[in-house]
């Protein structure tokens, strides 16, 4: 039994300087947790999730795993009592950590319950109030902006950016800004994403299960039709051969 009752606070995941961040206080001081490896201010949809168990917090982006998630358990307090009126979604009030969020949200869930954004109660959850929220996530920032070829306009949700074609990087000199061909245009990475550091240097960001300069080395192969990795199948085969060898030795012993 708790010997005292603490009123604590926690913020849902938010975008702070382009990074997924959460700020919270479990009664022993302010703490924060950020996922530094993935920026979310790129105009694309991302799935984000915040999990808490006791004083352990985990942030996940796009399903989590590897560099897409981070876990931390600072402090000693474990109690958390969330005031329903203090759960904020989207932008935050002027005295909070983040004042600049502009973006879209959909399929919001709190403790597994769907949070309606239209003001109508659903699954026992309803909005107590909203400010500056409108229905729909439309953006046409490229409509009124033309990029000089070979640059193309990229809609970053109500802001735009002129980018070089895939496999090129932008450089600038006294005459202006232009695109330069890089090895990434030739798709040198067997898997993953090619990132150019200069017109002649690049790195391949390999997905999980692969490594090597071109992501050509397989660490584990998942077969959808079998549901087993190559290493698992190999281990099963070795065990089967060992059992078969023991059976043959047993039969030979009794036959002779």
The whole-angstrom separation of Cα 192 and Cα 194 is 7
Please tell me whether residues 171 and 234 are part of one structural domain.
Answer: no
pLDDT digits (tens, 9 = 90+) for 187-213: 999 988 898 888 899 999 888 888 899
Domain holding 241, by residue range, is: 221-256
For residue 225, the model assigns a pLDDT of 44
* CA distances in angstroms from 202 to 169, 186, 198, 217, listed in the order given: 11, 11, 7, 18
Please tell me whether residues 98 and 164 are part of one structural domain.
Answer: no
Please tell me whether residues 156 and 181 are part of one structural domain.
Answer: yes
Specify the CATH number for the domain of residue 20: 2.60.120.200
The whole-angstrom separation of Cα 166 and Cα 150 is 11
Please tell me whether residues 27 and 72 are part of one structural domain.
Answer: yes
147 assigned to some structural domain: no
134 assigned to some structural domain: no
Least confident of 56-65, 69-78, 133-142, 215-224: 215-224
Residue that finishes a domain, picked among 114, 141, 167? 114
For residue 234, the model assigns a pLDDT of 66
For residue 11, the model assigns a pLDDT of 55
The whole-angstrom separation of Cα 19 and Cα 223 is 34
Contact 9, 25 (CB under 8 A): yes
Question: Once rounded to an integer, what is the mean pLDDT over residues 93-100?
Answer: 51
146 assigned to some structural domain: no
Least confident of 103-112, 148-157, 210-219, 246-255: 246-255
As given in the structure block, the two tokens for residue 67 are 């560099």
Contact 9, 20 (CB under 8 A): no
162 assigned to some structural domain: yes
- On average, the pLDDT of the chain sits at 76
Report which of residues 97 and 76 the model is more confident about: 76
pLDDT digits (tens, 9 = 90+) for 30-60: 888 888 888 887 777 888 888 888 888 888 8
Where b means 16+ CB within 10 Å and e means fewer, 199-231 reads eeebebebeeebeeebbeeeeeeeeeeeeeeee
156 assigned to some structural domain: yes
Question: Once rounded to an integer, what is the mean pLDDT over residues 12-27?
Answer: 78
For residue 229, the model assigns a pLDDT of 56
Please tell me whether residues 107 and 86 are part of one structural domain.
Answer: yes
Please tell me whether residues 25 and 102 are part of one structural domain.
Answer: yes
Name which of 102, 100, 16, 13 is nearest 61 in CA terms: 13
pLDDT band at 223 (very low <50, low <70, confident <90, very high): very low
Q: How many domains does the chain have?
A: 3
Please tell me whether residues 200 and 230 are part of one structural domain.
Answer: no
Contact 16, 97 (CB under 8 A): yes
Residue that finishes a domain, picked among 114, 144, 177? 114
With 0.85 as the threshold, say if the pTM is over it.
no
């Amino acid at each position: 039994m708790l010997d005292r009752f603490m009123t604590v606070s926690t913020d849902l995941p938010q975008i702070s300087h382009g990074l997924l961040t959460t700020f919270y206080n479990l009664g022993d001081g302010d703490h924060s947790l950020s996922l530094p490896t993935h920026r979310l201010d790129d105009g694309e949809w991302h799935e984000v999730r915040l999990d808490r168990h006791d004083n352990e917090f985990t942030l996940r982006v796009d399903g989590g795993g590897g560099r897409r998630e981070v876990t931390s358990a600072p402090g000693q307090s474990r109690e958390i009592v969330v005031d329903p009126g203090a759960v904020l979604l989207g932008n935050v009030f002027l005295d909070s950590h983040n004042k600049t969020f502009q973006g879209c949200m959909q399929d919001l869930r709190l403790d597994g319950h769907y949070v309606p954004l239209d003001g109508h109660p659903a699954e026992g959850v309803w909005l107590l109030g909203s400010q500056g929220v409108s229905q729909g996530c439309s953006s046409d920032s490229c409509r009124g902006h033309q990029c000089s070829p070979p640059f193309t306009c990229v809609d970053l949700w109500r802001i735009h950016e002129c980018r070089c074609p895939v496999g090129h990087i932008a450089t600038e000199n006294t005459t202006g800004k232009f695109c330069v061909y890089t090895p990434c245009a030739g798709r040198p990475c067997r898997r993953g994403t090619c990132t150019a550091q200069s017109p002649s240097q690049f790195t391949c960001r390999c997905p999980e299960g692969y490594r090597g300069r071109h992501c050509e080395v397989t660490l584990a192969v998942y077969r959808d039709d079998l549901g087993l990795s190559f290493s698992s199948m190999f281990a099963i085969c070795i065990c089967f051969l060992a059992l078969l060898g023991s059976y043959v030795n047993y039969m030979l012993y009794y036959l002779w």
